[in-house]
Amino acid sequence: MHIIVAGHHLEITEALKNHVDAKFAKLGRHFDNVTDVHVILSLEKLTQKAEATVQISGATLFAEDRQEDMYAAIDNMVDKLDRQILKHKEKTNSHR
């Protein structure tokens, strides 16, 4: 899994990058075919925004979340992606 972390109006610290890597390691346990992940962390006035685009075999998934805390936004975004990956996995298994 190749993870690219970018910042928009925000400097990406090593702690943020490590947090993103640790959270996306969870997605690898549910679905092995995650090939590319592009994460954008941004600051919009008083809210922190985390968004990610995930390339998996057969689909492209997108999720975003806004919170006052960047770590909470990352956690919620990864949970949304996790649900989408499980739903995609269920679809591919049920059609075969």
Q: Is the dihedral of CA 23, 37, 65, 13 positive or negative?
A: positive
Please tell me the predicted confidence (pLDDT) of residue 69.
92
Band of pLDDT at residue 96, cut at 50, 70 and 90: low
Mean local confidence (pLDDT), 53-61? 87
Determine the CATH number of domain 2-91.
3.30.160.100
pTM to 2 decimal places: 0.87
Residue 50 in this model has a pLDDT that exceeds 80: yes
Mean local confidence (pLDDT), 53-69? 90
6, β-bridge pairs: 40
Distance CA 21, CA 12 (A): 13
Q: Which amino acid is at 66?
A: R
Give me the residue spans of the domains in the chain.
2-91
